[in-house]
Each structure stands twice: as C-alpha cells, then as structure tokens.
Structure 1
Amino acid sequence: MRTDLEEAKAQELSKFQSSMDALQAKLDETNAVLLKEREAAKKAIAEAPPVVKETEVIVQDTEKVHTLKAEVDELKTSLQSEKQRADELEKKRSEEAQANEEKQKKIEETEVKIRQFQDYLRRLEEKLSNVESENKVLRQQAVSVAPAKILSGRSKSNLQRNAESGHVSVSDSKITPESAVVASPKKEYDIDDKPQKSLNEKQQENQDLLIRCIAQHLGFAGNRPVAACIIYKCLLHWRSFEVERTSVFDRIIQTIGHAIETQDNNEVLAYWLSNASTLLLLLQRTLKASGSTGMAPQRRRSSSATLFGRMTQSFRGTPQGVNLALINGSMVSGVETLRQVEAKYPALLFKQQLTAYVEKIYGMIRDNLKKEISPLLGLCIQAPRTSRASMMKGSSRSNTNTAAQQALIAHWQGIVKSLGNFLNILKVNNVPPFLVRKVFTQIFSFINVQLFNSLLLRRECCSFSNGEYVKAGLAELEHWCYRATDEYAGSAWDELKHIRQAIGFLVIHQKPKKTLDEISHDLCPVLSIQQLYRISTMYWDDKYGTHSVSPEVISNMRVLMTEDSNNPVSNSFLLDDD
C-alpha cells in the first residue's frame, strides 16, 4: 500500500516536473521573442529619420535687417583699419623714440666735444699768448744793441756778479744801477768782494758739479729720468730762470750736444730724448714770459708751428710715462701744481734750444731706424724666385710648404725684429709714449711709400703670387702692431693703407667682374685713378692665368684720367716721402 502510494506520488511528481519544464521552455521562448522584438524596435528607432518640424519665421522688415548687416560689416572693416593704423602709429612712434634717443645721445656727445674744444681752444690761446710773449722777448733781445759795460773788473755790482753765476738773492735784487756806479773807497771794495767771491766760487762749483753729474748716465727713478729732474730742480733752486745773464744754460746745452755726437748709438740717443723731452715739458709748464698775461695771440708762424712746439702746447698734464713726482715732494697731480716763474731771455732761449735738440734727437733715432730697415724693404717688395716657384706649385707637401713660407717672410721678420729692438730701447729709456707713437707712425709711413712706389714702378711686382708674398709680410707687421699695443704703435698700421689696398687688389679673385665703382670705393678708396690704372694695366696672374679688370673699366679709367689731365697733382701716381 505504501509502495503504491509512493509510486503514485512519483508519477505525479514526474508529470508535474514535465509540466514545469514545458512552462519553462515556453517562458524562455517568450523571453527570446520579446528580446528580439525589443532589439528590432531599437534598430528601427535608430534607423528611422528624425522628424524636423519646420517653423516658418516671418520677417516683417527685411530691408532694415540688410541695413544693419551692412553697418556691422562696415564697422568691422573700420575697426580693422583703425587697428592697422594704430599698429603703424605705434611702430612709427617707437622708431621716432629710438631716433630721438640717438639724436639726444649725439647732442650730448656733441656738447661734450664742444666743451672739450672750448677748453682746448682756451688752453691753446693761453699757450699762444705765452709763446707770443716769449717771441717778443727774444725778438727784442735779438734786435737790441748790447749795452756797454758800465762797470768792469772789481767795480761790478753784486747783481751782475750774481747773474753771471746763475743766482740772484733777495738782497741783490734791490741794488740799482745808480748805486752800483757810486765810487767807494778801495778798502770797502775789498771787504765786499771777499764774501762775494766766495759766493761766486761756491755757485760755480755747484754748476760744475751739476755738469759733471748729468754727463754721466744717471738712469731712472721708476720711470722718471733722473738727469732731467736734477737739472730742473737745480735751475729752479738757483733761480736761474729769472736772471738776465747766466752761463749755466749754455753749459747744459753743450753737455747734451757732446753726449749725442755718436749718432749711431741708439741707447744714448733714447736716453737723452727721454731726459730732454721731460725737461722741455717742465719748462713749458713752469716758464712764463714777462707780460704774457692778457696778451692777445697774433696769427703768425712761431715756434708752435714745429712738431714739438705743437706737442708741448697740447700738454694738459703729464703725458703718459712721464711721472714727475720726484720734482716736488708735495706734488700730487703731476705738473699742474708746478709754480710758474717769469722767465728772462736766457731761460726762453734755453727752452728754444732744448726744443731744437729734442727734434734733432728724435730725427736721429727715426733716421737710424730708416737706415736699418731700408735694405730689407728692397727685398720685401718682390718674392724670391725659389719661394715664388714653390708658391705657384701649391701646397702638396705640408712640411716643405711650411719651410718655404718661413724662408719667404725672412726679410719681413728682419724688419719686425728691427722694430722690436727699437721699441725695447725706447721703452727701457722711458721715452714718452707719444714720441714713441710718432716715431713708428712715421716709420710705417716710410714703409708704405717705399713699397707702394716700388710696386707701381716694377711690373714684375704686380703679379698675383707676389701680391700673396707682400700680403704675408704685411700680416707680420700687423701682428707686431698688435703686440706693441696702441700705447706705443698708435695708428702706425693705418699708415700702410696704400700698399694694403694695392695688394688687396692684386690678390682678389674675379677681377673682370668688378666695376670701377666697386674698385674705387669699396676695394681701393684711397688710391687715385692714375694709381688704379697703373696697377690694373701692369697686373699679370702667374698662378692661375686669370685676367685683370674688364676693358670697359680700363676705358672708364682713361676717361677720368683725361678729365683730370689739367691737374698736375693728379697726374703723378707716386707717393711723396714726407
């Protein structure tokens, strides 16, 4: 019974399970259908075109809209143009501001130059006034008749005896010519002469000691020439500048003249150039001709026209390299603190003689250097044949080429060596740098004239390879100027502008393409048409076989030369050796 019940339950459960499975399958099928329908609906919605509902806008005043639109466009255009104009105005304002700054800077520089020029003019007028006064004293002394001797021998006045010894005491200056001629008893003369003779002998001994002292090589204290300082100090102490008669100046001049008799001894010449120029500077700052104050300078040639007359008149203070602190222990600012004394004829004459000696010694040193380098200059204008041949072959072997280059510039290096030796001599002897610069400026001008004239006179020198040779030598001189510095070389390199530009023309490539304007204004601005024509027609290329300037340029040169044919100065193509 129980078994039957269990079987009946099992059958019912089985039926119920089957029904459940059928319902579940049906449910799953229904869900699958719903899912498919949902996806189909989504896809249909996504693919369906959107429905836009257009709404008609009714414009009542179309003409007004168009007018407003045109006004807006016009305002945009106007705004753009205003913006562009504002940018242009801003740019122009910036340029004007920059130009104003430059003008302001130029105005300030001009004002500084004007003040400097006014100061220089004032000093020059003072110097001219002083020089005119000195010349007046010298002229009066030259044309005046020597006064007859009122007293002689033992009857000389104390003033005359002291003047001859180079010293005037305060008490002596009070003696008048009338009191000097008053007859006195012989006994009084004997009493007066004893101390006076002793004083004269003492002063004569001092002069002898000074002459013996300066005849020796006293050297320098720092960079100060001792002999010049001693001479100046003694003359100032003895008041020799203020006496009418004295022999001390002549003795100093004779000592200097005797010392420079050996004209080829550059050491001695440089030593005395240093001393004489320093002493001349001191005299220029110290001596004042009587009656010089307030005199209007006259426009006539005087000692200021000479080289060192102009130099000494242009001194504002101590030139660089002339330290005069030894002269006066209280002096701080150079020669500006030196007291001026009213100089008499002997002192003014001494200054003129000293100026002449400075010029003479300067010229001797310059001429000695010219004599030393002149033989080398003749060898420097044309390259040696072997060296020129090696230059034309090229630089296939570097070692051989280097040796050839060294041999090529050997003569130029000889000139550089001479320049260096002379510079060392002048520096060791503390020659003022402005004189050293003047020496080398004139020497380089001499080199320029000699080389340039030789180039124009010798066709074999106007070749391309020879231009390279001279260019290498000029580079040696430029390097020397750089090592010497501007303090001593100054503008010496600028003195070679003629030969530098001529050589630049020889070595430049593509000459036929150059116009006359390019040659005369850019390449060789300092050369005349005659000089350019000479070089252009004499040029030949021994290295590359190229040609000179075009026939058109040569023709234009001939036309210009014909126009200048009436000018005798322009007809000469050679430089003058000043």
Structure 2
Amino acid sequence: MLGNSFGSCTLWPYVFKCETLHLMATENITVGSHVWIEDPDDSWIDGVVSKITGKDAEVKASSGKTITGKLSKIYPKDMEAAPAGVDDMTKLSYLHEPGVLQNLKTRYELNEIYTYTGNILIAINPFQKLPHIYGSHMMQQYRGAPLGELSPHVFAVADVAYRAMVNESKSNSILVSGESGAGKTETTKMLMRYLAYLGGRAATEGRTVEQQVLESNPVLEAFGNAKTVRNNNSSRFGKFVEIQFDKHGRISGAAVRTYLLERSRVCQVSDPERNYHCFYLLCAAPQEEVDKYKLGSPQSYHYLNQSKCYELVGVSDAQEYLETRRAMDIVGISSKEQEAIFRVIAAILHLGNTAFAKGKDADSSLPKDDQAKFHLHTTAELLMCDAKALEDALCKRVMVTPEEVIKRSLDPRSATINRDGLAKTLYSRLFDWLVDKINNSIGQDPNSKFLIGVLDIYGFESFKANSFEQFCINFTNEKLQQHFNQHVFKMEQEEYTKEKINWSYIEFVDNQDVLDLIEKKPGGVIALLDEACMFPKSTHETFANKLYQTFKTHKRFIKPKLSRTDFTIAHYAGDVQYQSDQFLDKNKDYVVPEHQDLLSASKCSFVAGLFPPLPEETSKSAKFSSIGSRFKVVLLYVCLHGFG
C-alpha cells in the first residue's frame, strides 16, 4: 500500500499504536520535561514544562513565549532523535503527530522526500524535478531488493508488489491517496514506469503494451486534468489502472477504468483555476488548425474567460498540443479520429458563446445577437448537424403526452442551462470514448494470470462550497477507510499477539454507520437522491426535506441551523456541509431527447457514434441512470478486485 500524504488514513494503524503509548508517556511528563505543545501559529512547537497545575501544564517554548495547555494534549519530545531523522517512522521513540511531522520536516529539508511507516510509503511533493532519483540506474538498484534494504522509494513499493505477484502467485494493488497537489498523478506515473521496466519485453513489431499504457497518461491528462487553486495539473477524475501479467511475469495486457469526471468544470470555472487543458491546447495549436475551427484566444470564450488564468507558468500549451497528438498516435487514435475529437472540443467552445435573449413570444428565447448566431452556426458546422435543428434543441423542449406532442419554448435562462447541459454531455461522452479507445488499443489479456492495480484517488475534500462531486469523493474515502479498519487494524493486532506483546485489545473507530447513511437501501442518501431524480416535481428543497425527515435522529447527519437545503455529514475525517442545490441535476446521467436525436443524426460518424440509438425501454425506471448508483458499483469493483 502506498499513501503520499501524512494526513491520509493510511497512517491510522500506526497512530492508534502511538495513542496507546501516549497515554503511558503522559504519566511521565513532569516539570523540566522536553515536550511538544500545540501552537495556533506553528501547529506544534517544542519547549520545556515549567509548571504543572492539576490537568494543565505551562510550557516555556524554545521561541521564548509561554504556552498553557491540557496535559493530555502535550507530547514528549525525543531528545535523542537522530539529527537526520529516521527512514522508517516505526523507529521513532514517540510515534505521535508532532514526532511524525518533525521527522518528515527534517528529512524533507535534506531532500529526502520518501519515508516509510512500516510497509506504507509517505511521499512529500518536492515541487521540482528530481530526475536523478528516477533514472534507469535507480530502477536497477531497487530490482529485487527487499523492502527497507535501500532508502525509501516509490520503486521499492512497486517492486514488493511485483515480487509478491511472481513468487506468491497473487494479484496486488497499490493505493495512491492524498490531498490535491500532493503528487498522486506523478507518483502513479513512476509506479507504472517501474512496472513496465520489470514486466516489459523488447519491442518487436509495433507498439508494446507497456509503451501504450505509459503513453495513455498524457492523453488522459490533456482531457481529464485542469489547473486548480492547489495544483496546476490536477486530475479531475478517478483512475484505476489494471496491468495484466502472464505466467512469466511479463505484461500481457492492461485496462484503464475511470470514474467521476468533474463534468461541471466544462461550463463553470472559478478564478484562478482553468478548464480542462485540451481547450487551451487547441487554442494554441498551429495556425492552420486554429483557422480550421474558427477559433480565437482563450479570452474569447465564455467557458474559459470566467477565470483570468489562461496560461501556466513554465508550460507551453502549443508544445503540449503537439505532445498530446504524438501520444494519441502511440495509443492508436487515428489522425481522422484526432481531427474529429478536436472538432468536438472546438464545438463546445463555440457552443458556450451561444448566448440567448428574449424571443417575441412569452417565455421564449433566440440567439442574442449576430455574434451568438455566428457561434451557433459554427457549432452546427463542426458537429455536422442542421443549424436550425440545433437552435430548436437549445431553445425548445418537446413534451409528449398521451394525447399529443407539444413543443414548448424555453426562456433565456432555461435555454442557457439547456446549452450547458449539452456541452457537459458532449464532453463526458468524448472522455468516455477516449478511455474505451485506449483500452481497445492496448488490449486486455483474457488469459492473464495476475494483475497489479494502481488506484489514483482523490483525497478527502472539504471546501467552502461542497457539491455532489465532494459527496462522492468523500464516500470513496469512507469506503477505503473501512477497508483499512477491517484489514490493517486486524493485521496489526494479530501481529501484536504473534509477537507476544503485552497489550490490551483496542476497539478502533468503525465508520459503518456513515456508509449505511450514504449507501444503504432503500433509505440511504443515494437511494433517496435517486428517488427524487425519478419524480418530475422533485426539487433540491423537497430532497433536502426528505433527508431531514429520514435522518433527524441519525448521529452522523446534521441539519445546519442557517440553511434550509444544506446538510452536514459527520465523516471519519471531519464534518462536511453539502449544498444540495445541484445534487439532482448532477446525479442524472440523462441526455435530453432533443440533443440525442440531433447528434445521433450528425453527418460526422464520430459525433453520431458518441450518441448511439437508445434501446427500446418499457419502463420509466429503466430509462433512469444514476451517477451515484453507478459510482457505487464501480467502487465495489475496485474494492473487490483491487483490495479484496
């Protein structure tokens, strides 16, 4: 297992060990003891206990100030700690939070970005290129070396997983978790490079499987990554890569499974973030490409200019465009398909500039001005569909009743929402096509004996505003936390018994009640959300009220005092307040029939292929597809196949 944020759940089994020791260590704190105490400015600060009064202690800090705190919240400082720190945190005399942080800080200042905690690797993002520690000479060193024999390294974790697969004939998975900007995507690439080094074969004809797996990264990054506040190359989707091996330990196939693409980013970007990289890459493409798609600068487009950030420091979008096209060649995307892909990207930009004004009739709308008409017609040209049919699909909605078919006009606000819905659907269908194409090009091995999975997953998220995406991300982390609770804690305590350590069994925190709250059928949050999505008259207000009624006595569910539609869940990592106003829309994997009919009739076979004819359904419930419920299924797959 691998975690790259020391705040992640992967450290919990060792934290529980340290808390047990802390209870005993606290009893030995006296006046004159060197300790760590919490400080509002510096998190933790070291000092000497100058006075103890009952359950409180006064500490003279090394900075000169005096701090008073609870004796139970003061931790002993190891005065014999190695000046350069230790490479495995289990070697620390005191394995508590300040001790862990001080050790990581000491090593980081010496450019030692990796530290073990038992068989878990902690990585701290150096925010700089360190090619000397990832070269082929380093791969040779770690090949076959027992864990702990050499300095902590991501290659060592991958090597252990590979050796266990070969020697013990069992599949393995590596979990990469941490906050945004912690370095998960880069760590995943290093893992895959090393596994390709171990299981790769000399290239014969065409591209090798491992080459295609590695080259799939820049393609997925171009269409699935974006600049966020914390990270210039943040993955806005989850990824589980299965690398398949034959009985000789050689790579024989692979599959990339993605989930929870942040669709809302296509239409809504907060300053100083950016939309998906591919939009900016296309605007920076060679001039003949830009002219072909009638494009201008990123500042010209509503879907990009909601933020004032258009460029990334040290990154050439023009060069990245060429690199992305090269990577698309390698993974088997033909030049004709590439041209169609960027037609769709350009069409989305033009679609976003199709603004609406009030029409002649009440509650009707039409393109706002000549500029809006230009972008509407350009969108129709790029998607190879009829411009009038596109305008009708955006400005009108067909209502089918048992008696008749009614075409109802939409007001400008509704038409804008409808337009954004089409843009998000187009982009998500395109992204899904890219993933399927990569998987088909790489090829899966039906006779594979084993696999190594690499899960690149969002860390726990809690922002000022938390929507459906944060709900799903935090649900994922609850699920993974339960896995650690059941397996890692259990293994740790079995190890205690085996080593005949004198200890008392400790009940660890069980988060099953949070999972029941979220996923239980028929009364969990996801089930109630699906139910609300299936009823036309449901709103986020009625959904929120249903939650309040259902969970009014649930200890993990809190109704905020100052909101009528927000709700708070007490997660294992902290309370998160969710805004329900977009939950229903974001949970529906629903394509407006007018959009489906329009694009499935496109003269561009690629676009039409993104919207294949729908199968005949007999019931209303069969037509409804829920993002939340599908996400549950994917998460179950990952847990069973990756960590079961």
TM-score normalized by structure 1? 0.22
Larger relative helix fraction: 1
Of Structure 1 and Structure 2, the greater strand share is in 2
